Amino acid sequence: MIYPIVKFGNPVLEKPAEKVTVFDEELKKLIDDMFESMYAARGVGLAAPQIGISRRIAVVDVTFKEDPDAKLVLINPEIIHKEGRHSQSEGCLSIPDFRENVSRAKVATIRAQDLTGKVFEKTADDLLARAFQHETDHLNGKLYISHISALKRDLIKRKIRKLVKAGEW
Ligand code: NI
CA of 90 to the centre of ligand 1 (A): 9
pTM, entire model: 0.97
Contact predicate 27/62, CB 8 Å: no
* pLDDT at residue 143, as a whole number: 98
The question of whether 135 is a catalytic residue gets the answer: yes
Please state, in angstroms and rounded to a whole number, the distance separating the CA atoms of residues 20 and 56: 6
- Per residue in 130-141, pLDDT (tens digit) is 999 999 999 999
Where does 19-163 show beta strands of DSSP type E?
A: 45-47, 57-60, 72-83, 86-90, 100-104, 107-113, 119-125
> Domain boundaries in the chain?
11-165
Distance (angstroms) between ligand 1 centre and the Cα of 31 equals: 16
User: From the candidates 36, 90, 121, 135, which is the catalytic residue?
Assistant: 135
For 14, the 3-state DSSP assignment is helix
CA of 77 to the centre of ligand 1 (A): 15
Q: Is residue 28 within 8 Å of residue 51, measured between CB atoms?
A: no
Superfamily of domain 11-165: Peptide deformylase (3.90.45.10)
